[in-house]
Amino acid sequence: MRTPSRRRPLRRLLRFLLLLALLLACCHVLMPQHVTVQAPVSAPANSTPSLPWQLTLVNRWNGLPETRSFWLKTIADGEKVDRRIAGTLNDMLNDAEAQGYEVHLNAGFRTSAEQQALFEDKVAAFCAGGYDGVTASELAGQWVSRPGTSEHELGLAVDIGTETPALYDWLQDNSWRYGFIQRYPENKTALTGVAHEPWHYRYVGKEAAAEMYAQGLCLEEYLAQYNG
């Protein structure tokens, strides 16, 4: 008569531990993550701390608010955004796909450390092209925001990628319906401080987005009216 193998309880334990590890990993990815973002000391002060959260102004002249706490939620392509915008962002992306456009997210929330690394990479690329350090830093700032001055650090902005460029026309015409704006329009670089980025979309809320779309305003122009 064959006796039960002593290895069976060990195998069951290993299977249980493996399932537990997978469950914890899924929870880490899917469950909202609370973050507290603090402006790097190198970033300029924010001059508009009293604005509603969705209208927070961050650009090369206005750094992150001193302290900002919010929950992150993982959405398409494993990117994370402020939980408060996740639902309407998913609606916009799903509706774009329903129109036949190929859609994916290249970027969502970034830490200041991640933003620093991106900025340094861009500076290095310009230096490799023959520019001196000061010029390379200035040119890099037109394409990659310095740490503490990027909307990605707010969790309210995403970079949307596609193999069908017509998607950007659709987004420009329809994103306001979901509370998003094309943050860096082609003719507003002097006001935004950033070169035209048709892929960069920022949540401002449906009311503000509708007004900005109707009047052809960038966020800086809208807030000048809002505060006036």
Q: Which residues are tagged catalytic?
A: 197
Q: b or e along 62-88 (b: 16 or more beta carbons within 10 Å of the residue's beta carbon)?
A: bbbbeebebebbbbbeebbbbbbbbeb
- Least Cα distance to 88 among 166, 182, 205 occurs for 205
Residue 203: what are its φ and ψ, rounded to 5°?
-80, 130
Residue 62: what are its φ and ψ, rounded to 5°?
-130, 110
Q: Name 81's Cβ contacts closer than 8 Å, sequence gap at least 6.
A: 72, 73, 75, 89, 108, 109, 155, 156, 158
User: Are 202 and 180 within 8 A, CB to CB?
Assistant: yes
Helix axes 112-128, 133-140, angle to 10 degrees: 130
Residue 70: what are its φ and ψ, rounded to 5°?
-160, 170
